[in-house]
A and B are shown apart, each in its own frame.
With several copies, the nearest count.
Chain A
């Protein structure tokens, strides 16, 4: 069982946090630069960081996926850039307004706020949300902040259970203990910044992050949290930003070790890796979101043999196999153990779900599987 006080090996250096006024100011500076270019008859240019694999790297030291220093320029007079330039200006102006007026919006809402037809044409400012989402990322990078500080947020997802007391500073300073909300737990919000949600008190030895909500419910039901002094976080698939931010804060504010428990398949492992190292898409924000020393407890393909679960494996789909092959090349999966695991998946073409442990007995996961692995520190690394 991990000791309560495990300190993170390395304190992550979060960038100095800019306040709303500073961010609004940064947006204004960019806009003014562009206006100056227009006035001097130069091609107006918006500069942001380059995204995609070419500018993403795995930092072995911190264990984080990080965005490099390459920048990308969008010239309005280049027809290949013009539409995106226009879209970025719209997003900039709208977030500027939010900051000024102290409003927040979901990323789908800003999409709808800005969507309209262009003049007499059949073209819209944005055809679908993926376009405005991309512009949001560009603006985040250009002013060097995270979307939450642009007063934007994604959809919420995920549940929290355990002896942890939170305070919502934006909502009457509501203070509540997540062990006392019945078995449902608390719905994690999309914005989990310290300015809004304060972690008042935690009485736990570690955080267990669980991929499926059904397994989360099983562990609540079995009294796992109380018995093992655990905070349970159900992500319901890929962890939402708010959930990742909460896990990150529990690790770095409250020094709790983080253990991840997913299905034994490339998708589950990818969920784990995003919690641990961050993702390529949000490489710029790994310092805010990732937990490089998170541990992976299962499921592994070794569990299949060890617990006689052959009957309850599923066949991997072609897409899963393809994903596993890609993952072989990711720097953060280059450890001996993970390479072995991925190759086993590729050759056996099977996957194993968390809930397949029910094949032993309903309480097997809570009584045997997790306690044994935690006790013996059997983590995949």
Chain B
């Protein structure tokens, strides 16, 4: 054993106590900017574009506006760029603008259960901090609400206190509605790649068919992605937690901030899909009085409630809390931007995962045409496009639940013998009131079983359609080949038989041709009949299903 040292322990404990300090979240992220995706020269720039664009889109959508976004990246020097992002959203008030761009963990999104792109209130302020750290410059923001009055302001962050610092505030007249932000960054680099701002914008356009984005890259080249749909996604709604997904801790925390006076009304008002029948069932299952004040619920009582939730049937979370892209929209923009030969899109129904959060999966599989990633040598590789709340995820694919789900599918069963080397683009969109990212950089979804399973089911469904298409394609080609084969063989057969039997070759040939044509016609007819029968059966099944609904 070691010899014990001579130390004055009390002094040490107290000495340590003196060193004990609290820190602001701004300081934390300033020191740990890699956690926000602000590391790596190329990645940082894409992250910046991502943060501004998602804020713009969220604002437009909440205000029911068809978004038009202009993005410009200018090269100011080596690894030194200026980024400008302008939207036509509702604009921000002076007070909000400061917090939105100058305070971490502040925003409209964190505390509401609502499907939005941003959900943490960190992004834009993180960019301000990054600009400040690398250039010492504040971020310039102009905002207008369209009523002729605008203001401009410069914003930076006081890291010690996590408070915005505003300067050069100016009001002026212009008929502008929206927010424009302009900021300078060092330690970033623009380079076209699979993970560049351009690819980010392209994918944003695919997942957001109602958006028009104009992008001017540092070389001055303009890239315009026009909207393929004029339908604004329905405004996301704040949603109450679904009983199936909440934990004891969640129940207690909701109970503390409810407006309800009794537990029974708390349950009725503060949870999704809570009908009278369900309430009755629950009240039978708990052994305390549901008329008590929710604020006085104990852990054990809350545990009883959660147990009762698990044993009770509820409807699936209401669809209207989620705003999926929509099958038609995905199809349109996929066709316009990816241009596959065949496309199959599947939109699943909303589901719930632990935490009571509703989520919904949509997938698209494009095969042939320009689908897939094209290598420099012209070879095609499979391409996976990941989206969370309509935001493209370009980084950390390896640790993402979506990648995991795609890889877990046995693609051979769906006619793609060598998936990795097929001309295929797999599109996966996950929308949720709360997306469980693996990190604050929001580039990968944690592999929560329910989510992986749901994505896999969607891909398998879509895969079946793809495989039917591939099979039909093969069948059509086969039919053609059969006809040609018969016609090729007939002259040989006729001539051989004629030589042996001295029957006239020409006569045999004509007879054989007629035989073949009759046979093929018959087959086609049979096929049609079979198809009609199958369709009839299908309809029957559907109408039965409707009746039982």
Q: Quick one: which of A41, A83, A89 contacts B497, CB cutoff 8 A?
A: A89
A32 is an interface residue with CB less than 8 A from chain B: yes
Q: Are A38 and B512 in contact (CB under 8 A)?
A: yes
Q: Tell which of A35, A43, A77, A123 has the most Cβ of chain B within 10 Å.
A: A35
Q: Are A118 and B501 in contact (CB under 8 A)?
A: no
B20 is an interface residue with CB less than 8 A from chain A: no
Q: Quick one: which of A39, A41, A76, A93 contacts B500, CB cutoff 8 A?
A: A93
Q: Are B500 and A77 in contact (CB under 8 A)?
A: no
Chain A residues near B232 (CB, 8 Å)?
none
Q: Are B485 and A119 in contact (CB under 8 A)?
A: no
A152 → B minimal CB distance (Å): 17
Q: Quick one: which of A77, A83, A92 contacts B496, CB cutoff 8 A?
A: A92
Q: Are B508 and A38 in contact (CB under 8 A)?
A: yes
Count: A-B pairs, CB below 8 Å: 75
Give A117-152 as 1s and 0s: 1 = Cβ < 8 Å from B's Cβ atoms: 011010101000000000000000000000000000
Complex CA gap A34/B482 in Å reads: 21
Chain A residues near B519 (CB, 8 Å)?
43, 77
A31 is an interface residue with CB less than 8 A from chain B: yes
Query: Which residues of B473-511 are within 8 A (CB) of A?
Result: 482, 484-489, 491-493, 495-497, 499-501, 503, 508, 511
Assess A38 versus B489: contact at CB under 8 Å? Given A32-B501, A79-B482, A93-B499: no
Q: Quick one: which of B485, B500, B515, B516 contacts A31, CB cutoff 8 A?
A: B500
Chain B residues near A77 (CB, 8 Å)?
486, 515-516, 519
Complex CA gap A118/B487 in Å reads: 10
A334 → B minimal CB distance (Å): 37
Assess A121 versus B512: contact at CB under 8 Å? Given A85-B493, A96-B499: no
Q: Are A35 and B508 in contact (CB under 8 A)?
A: yes
Query: Which residues of B497-539 are within 8 A (CB) of A?
Result: 497, 499-501, 503, 508, 511-512, 514-516, 518-519
**Majority secondary structure, A binding face:** helix
In the complex, which residue of chain A has the Cβ closest to the Cβ of B486?
A: A82
Q: Quick one: which of A35, A38, A39, A89 contacts B492, CB cutoff 8 A?
A: A89
Complex CA gap A361/B322 in Å reads: 79
Query: Which residues of A5-40 are within 8 A (CB) of B?
Result: 27-28, 31-32, 34-35, 38-39
Chain B residues near A123 (CB, 8 Å)?
488
Complex CA gap A80/B274 in Å reads: 62
In the complex, which residue of chain B has the Cβ closest to the Cβ of A38?
A: B511
Chain B residues near A214 (CB, 8 Å)?
none
A97 is an interface residue with CB less than 8 A from chain B: yes
In the complex, which residue of chain B has the Cβ closest to the Cβ of A87?
A: B492
Assess A119 versus B488: contact at CB under 8 Å? Given A35-B503, A35-B508: yes
Complex CA gap A110/B445 in Å reads: 67
Q: Are A39 and B511 in contact (CB under 8 A)?
A: yes
A86 is an interface residue with CB less than 8 A from chain B: yes
Q: Are A82 and B489 in contact (CB under 8 A)?
A: yes
Q: Are B515 and A35 in contact (CB under 8 A)?
A: no
Chain A residues near B512 (CB, 8 Å)?
38, 44, 76
Assess A119 versus B491: contact at CB under 8 Å? Given A77-B515, A77-B519, A79-B482: yes
Q: Are B496 and A89 in contact (CB under 8 A)?
A: yes
Complex CA gap A121/B485 in Å reads: 9
Q: A76-B493, A77-B515 are in contact. List 20 more A-B contacts (CB 8 A).
A: A27-B500, A31-B496, A32-B501, A34-B497, A35-B501, A35-B508, A38-B511, A38-B512, A41-B515, A41-B518, A43-B519, A44-B493, A77-B519, A82-B485, A90-B496, A93-B496, A118-B489, A118-B492, A119-B491, A125-B492
Q: List 13 A-B contacts (CB under 8 A).
A: A35-B508, A38-B511, A38-B512, A39-B511, A43-B515, A76-B493, A79-B485, A82-B486, A83-B489, A86-B496, A90-B492, A118-B492, A125-B492
The 7 closest A-B pairs by CB, nearest first: A89-B496, A93-B496, A31-B500, A86-B489, A118-B488, A93-B499, A79-B482
| B→A interface (CB under 8 Å) | 482, 484-489, 491-493, 495-497, 499-501, 503, 508, 511-512, 514-516, 518-519
